[in-house]
Amino acid sequence: QQQVKQSPQSLIVQKGGISIINCAYENTAFDYFPWYQQFPGKGPALLIAIRPDVSEKKEGRFTISFNKSAKQFSLHIMDSQPGDSATYFCAASKRDYKLSFGAGTTVTVRA
Amino acid sequence: NAGVTQTPKFRVLKTGQSMTLLCAQDMNHEYMYWYRQDPGMGLRLIHYSVGEGTTAKGEVPDGYNVSRLKKQNFLLGLESAAPSQTSVYFCASSPLTTEAFFGQGTRLTVV
C-alpha cells in the first residue's frame, strides 16, 4: 500500500510548456518531501526538496508547491526542455530518513 | 569520487539459485538502503542500515537478507531466487541528513 500517491502516470508537454506533477500523502509524521529525477538506465537523483514549514521552493525552472492542510505537494517544471524528459518520483520521509516513493511520472517533452 | 557503486549491473538467475548484490559507497555515509523498482510501483525499501553492523527491515524484506560488516559496503542476498524477484535493484546511501544518493542499479531477471 503506497504511502505516497502520484499522478499522472505520464504526460507529454511541448517545449517551453509547463509540466505539473501532483502527489498526496496521508502520514502527517512525514516532514521531508523530495523529488527525484531518473533517466533511463540510471539511478534516481535528487532534484529538489521541501520541508513542511514552507509552502513553496524554487530552484531554477523547478518549483515545489506544498499544501500542508491538504497533505499535497506538486512539482512544476517551467519552460520544459527536451532534456527534462525523464521519470520523476515524489517521495516523503519522517525523521528516520526512510523514503516512501510515489509510483513515478514519465515526462516527455516534444521539441 | 565514485559515489555509490553497484555490482553487478545485470544478472540472470534460475529459480532457486542464490546470489549477492554488492553496494559500495565512498562518501563515508552512515545510512545505506536497498530498494527495488518495479513498473508502476516506484521504489520500495527492502532493507536498510543506520550504521556499520546494523540492519533493519524495510517495506518488502521477505526473501532477502543483508549485511553491513564494513561502513562502506552493504550486501543484499537472495538465498533462493524466485521469478517475483525479477526487478531493478538500487542501493542508496545518505549522511545523517536526508538526501539519498543512488547507484546505477542492478537489473536482475529470474527465470
Residue-wise pLDDT tens digits, B58-96? 999 999 999 999 999 999 999 999 999 999 999 999 987
pLDDT band of A95, cuts 50, 70, 90: confident
DSSP β-bridge partners for residue A71 = none
Mean pLDDT of A25-45: 95
- Burial class (CB within 10 angstroms; exposed 0-12, middle 13-18, buried 19+) of A17: middle
DSSP β-bridge partners for residue A106 = A10, A87
Residue B103 CA, distance from chain mean position: 9
C-alpha A98/C-alpha A89 separation (Å) is: 15
Residues from A contacting B (CB-CB < 8 Å) are: 2, 4, 6, 9, 32, 34, 36, 41-46, 49, 89, 93, 97-104
Chain B, nearest residue to A104 by Cα: B42
Chain A, nearest residue to B5 by Cα: A43
The CB density around residue A52, as the number of other CB atoms within 10 Å, is 16
Chain-chain contact of A99 with B100 (C-beta, under 8 angstroms):
yes
Mean pLDDT of B14-39: 96
Q: Out of B41, B59, B105, whose CB is closest to A103?
A: B41
Chain A residues whose beta carbon lies within 8 Å of the beta carbon of residue B90: 43-44
The verdict on B100 touching A (C-beta cutoff 8 Å) is yes
pLDDT band of B7, cuts 50, 70, 90: very high
What integer pLDDT is reported at residue B40 of this predicted model? 86
Chain A residues whose beta carbon lies within 8 Å of the beta carbon of residue B45: 98-100
C-alpha A58/C-alpha A68 separation (Å) is: 17
pLDDT at A109 over 90: yes
Could you tell me the three cell numbers for B37? 523498482
pLDDT at A48 over 70: yes
Chain A residues whose beta carbon lies within 8 Å of the beta carbon of residue B94: 97
Mean pLDDT of B6-17: 97
Average pLDDT of chain A, as a whole number? 95
What torsion, rounded to 10 degrees, do the Cα atoms B95, B78, B44, B57 define? -60
